Amino acid sequence: MRDVKACSEREYFAFVAERPLMFGIRCLSDLESFLIGYDEHALRHGGPGLDGWRDWLVARRGKDCNHGWTGQVRHLALPEGWASWDITAEQEARVSKLLFTLLDEFLAETEADERDEKAGPR
């Protein structure tokens, strides 16, 4: 068993992605709820949580709308569009897979920015 307290955020979410059922994640809405809970807990206890996540997704998409981050991920995963929050199982799988990929990319950039800030000016 991995010591999740010793993991980086990227390692932690890679672990979650490999074993979603272990974290009670059976579907996309479970995954979204898990991430919302993670973010709220982190913010409540002084951590950054997923600060900047939605803005990063909007920049990645190159277009904004009134959706939160969950809708932004759907837009990126389903460029052909989606008419309802109730999406097909195939669409849900695409969204879930891309969500973990995007989250990893976001966290990689966040970690790089934090390292640069700690290093100071060059």
Q: Which CA distances in Å does 81 have to 7, 58, 71, 72, 107? A: 36, 16, 11, 11, 26
The type of residue at 79 is P
Q: Which pLDDT score is estimated for 6?
A: 84
Would the pLDDT of 116 be above 70? no
Would the pLDDT of 1 be above 70? no
Q: What is the pLDDT of residues 102-113, one digit of tens each?
A: 999 999 998 876
Q: CA–CA separation, 101 vs 98, rounded Å?
A: 5
Q: What is the pLDDT of residues 42-89, one digit of tens each?
A: 999 998 899 999 999 999 999 999 999 999 999 999 999 998 999 999
Would the pLDDT of 16 be above 70? yes
H-type alpha helices, 47-88: 53-61, 69-77
